[in-house]
């Protein structure tokens, strides 16, 4: 009986005796089972490879994340700044994450400092030469899988 090219699944052709019919179907079913076992093995191999790379940090995948926002409601005069102590959710990070912050106003410069597993300090400074407008700030903190990236 001939077989398919990709998975070697048997099929009857004009030269195949189909008597007894149960024998043909048994051969066909067995070849499908064998092909499925091969596919299952290949899927497991790919999954094992992904798991190994993820554990080794080769995928660049975030491990844990947190995000937040806030606002002061008051405009900062030129040259002035204010500081916010931001706290992460308890137990979220196992080591200090990468923190990024942005503001809704282009008049303000944001600086992130003192990053730990429990939080960070956000400083908002008006360096624009004029009194700023009210603003909101947004932040994200990302801890990558070990070895995949800093943070």
Number of domains into which the chain is organized = 2
Task: Indicate if 74 and 138 belong to the same structural domain.
Answer: yes
Q: Is residue 112 scored above 70 in pLDDT?
A: yes
Residue reference for tokens 């798991």 = 51
The beta strands (E) that lie in the chain are given as 62-71, 81-87, 98-103, 108-113, 119-126, 136-144
Task: Indicate if 66 and 140 belong to the same structural domain.
Answer: yes
Question: Per-residue pLDDT averaged across 46-67, rounded?
Answer: 73
For residues 1 and 10, is the Cβ–Cβ distance under 8 A? Answer: yes
Question: Per-residue pLDDT averaged across 56-71, rounded?
Answer: 79
Cα–Cα distance measured from residue 146 to residue 142, given in angstroms and rounded to the nearest whole number: 12
**pTM recorded for the entire structure:** 0.59
Task: Indicate if 136 and 84 belong to the same structural domain.
Answer: yes
Task: Indicate if 66 and 41 belong to the same structural domain.
Answer: no
Task: Indicate if 51 and 66 belong to the same structural domain.
Answer: no
Range of 51's domain? 1-56
């Amino acid at each position: 009986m001939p077989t398919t090219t990709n998975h070697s699944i048997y099929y009857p052709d004009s030269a195949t005796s189909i008597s007894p019919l149960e024998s043909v179907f048994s051969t066909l079913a067995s070849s499908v089972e064998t092909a499925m076992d091969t596919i299952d093995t290949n899927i497991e191999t790919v999954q094992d490879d992904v798991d190994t790379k993820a554990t080794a940090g080769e995928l660049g995948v975030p491990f844990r994340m947190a995000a937040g926002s806030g606002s002061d409601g008051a405009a900062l005069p030129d040259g002035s700044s204010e500081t916010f102590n931001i706290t992460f959710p308890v137990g979220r990070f196992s080591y200090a994450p990468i923190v990024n912050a942005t503001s809704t106003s282009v008049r303000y410069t944001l600086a992130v400092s003192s990053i730990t597993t429990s939080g960070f300090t956000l400083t908002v400074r008006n360096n624009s030469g004029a009194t700023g407008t009210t603003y909101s700030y947004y932040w994200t903190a990302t801890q990558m899988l070990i070895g995949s990236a800093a943070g």
